[in-house]
Amino acid sequence: MTDFAATRALFELPEGIIYLDGNSLGPLPRAAAARVGRTITEEWGQLLIRGWNQAGWMELPTALGDRVGRLIGAEPGHVVMGDTLSIKVYQALASALAMRPDRRVILSDSGNFPSDLYMAQGLVGMLGADYELRVVAPEEVAGAIDDRVAVLMLTEVDYRTGRRHDMKALTAAAHAAGALTVWDLAHSAGAFAVDLAGAGADFAVGCTYKYLNGGPGAPAFIYVAPRHAEAARPALSGWLGHEAPFAFDLDYRPGRGIERMRVGTPPVIALAALEASLDIWDRVDMAALRKASVALSERFIAGVEATCPTLTLASPREAATRGSQVSFRHPEGYAIMQALIADGVIGDFRAPDILRFGFTPLYLSPEEVDGAVSILARIMASASWDQPQFKVRSRVT
């Protein structure tokens, strides 16, 4: 079991705020400032270049990769941190495509996050006209897998609705058709227990600034299944993925296993912040987390449906097919969300009409969920969202 009152005390949460946006940017672990401070003053400040060896900077991407790996059901030694998620999508997809040289189709769905589709479009543009990104509706994915598909590239949890794909079943269907899978775990890692090994996933990627609380711009991760570890060819063949970076050979040779998915110099300061967050995750039982997440989500759905008749549930009603977020639709969703934020309840808005709320048991209590419901109900009943200052769009929604 996990003591969620104890984990909550490990986060810095501003007074008077109910935070329902940990699915977009997790809060600050209290220990992170000191941990980052040590890296800066004691390691960078005192060790200088010696930090790479003496402070273990070079091992951080794989050491932290294994700690993320526990949360996503990866075999030890098969996850590495670095770069941003968009880059990791490109890497995984390029490697998977190269392993199916006689096929030309990348299959994805319209519930995928645009950056994943954009990266696939960029890659298709590089590879040539006979490659194709095929995008179907989420419920049509299973039926669209055929023997032309090289790679099935999906985000497990839809960023707008929270709808969750059946990773195990779709992976099996892809394999039965001779295709490989790339799973994006952006809204899965830290939201519930993922079982990559059990699902037979080939490649997986994800970020650490959402549910994993690694901080803005925290490094991403990539997983390559052990059976592909020595076969996957890195498309982004940077020197730190080379077999012997400090031999400074003129020709690239991929490093051993997951090491080849490194590209360049690791973001040591950002990894230090992530390490403080993973110290909290090390205490968390993922089954307990999921149970609490479902309870918070159901409590919110029931509360909103009882008090806000003009909001329509956009998420699956069935908890088993939902991640750890709940979304409601309203044509004035943007203004409603701004009014909520002004009243201390922070969620976010996704065009065209989605109000999105993340449920994160590590630092969110049932009482806060009730508080958020009653503030939302008051805003809806009084139409206090219907004011000009709530309709001005910011750069980040």
Least distance to ligand PLP from the beta carbon of 293, Å? 17
Between 165 and 242, name the residue whose CB sits nearer to ligand PLP.
165
Least distance to ligand PLP from the beta carbon of 323, Å? 11
Q: Could you tell me which residues come within 8 angstroms of residue 60 by beta carbon, excluding any fewer than 6 positions away?
A: 81, 266, 268, 271, 275
The amino acid at 308:
C
Taking CA atoms, 43 is separated from 40, 50, 269, 298, in Å, by: 6, 8, 10, 46
Between 104 and 187, name the residue whose CB sits nearer to ligand PLP.
187
Least distance to ligand PLP from the beta carbon of 271, Å? 15
Q: Could you tell me which residues come within 8 angstroms of residue 286 by beta carbon, excluding any fewer than 6 positions away?
A: 71, 192, 193
- State the residues that interact with ligand PLP by CB under 6 A: 84-86, 113, 115-116, 155, 159, 184, 186-187, 207, 220
Least distance to ligand PLP from the beta carbon of 150, Å? 20
Q: Which residue has the tokens 């989420």?
A: 138
DSSP state of 192: B
- C-alpha distance across the termini of the chain, in Å: 36
Least distance to ligand PLP from the beta carbon of 48, Å? 30
If residue 175 lies in a helix (H) or strand (E), which one and from where to where? helix 167-176
Bridge-partner residues for 164, per DSSP?
Answer: 157
Between 24 and 171, name the residue whose CB sits nearer to ligand PLP.
24
CA gap 39, 41 in Å, rounded: 6
> Is the link from the previous residue into 61 a cis peptide, with omega within 30 of 0?
no
Between 103 and 165, name the residue whose CB sits nearer to ligand PLP.
165
Q: Could you tell me which residues come within 8 angstroms of residue 258 by beta carbon, excluding any fewer than 6 positions away?
A: 62, 65, 77, 78, 79, 80, 222, 223, 224, 229
By annotation, the residues acting in catalysis are 113, 184, 209-210, 356
What is the Cα gyration radius of the chain?
A: 22
CA gap 64, 369 in Å, rounded: 32
Token pair for 28: 């600050």
Between 95 and 208, name the residue whose CB sits nearer to ligand PLP.
208
Between 116 and 202, name the residue whose CB sits nearer to ligand PLP.
116
Least distance to ligand PLP from the beta carbon of 85, Å? 4
Between 351 and 383, name the residue whose CB sits nearer to ligand PLP.
351
Least distance to ligand PLP from the beta carbon of 185, Å? 8
Q: For residues 124-136, b (16+ Cβ closer than 10 Å) or e, as one string?
A: beeeeeebebebb
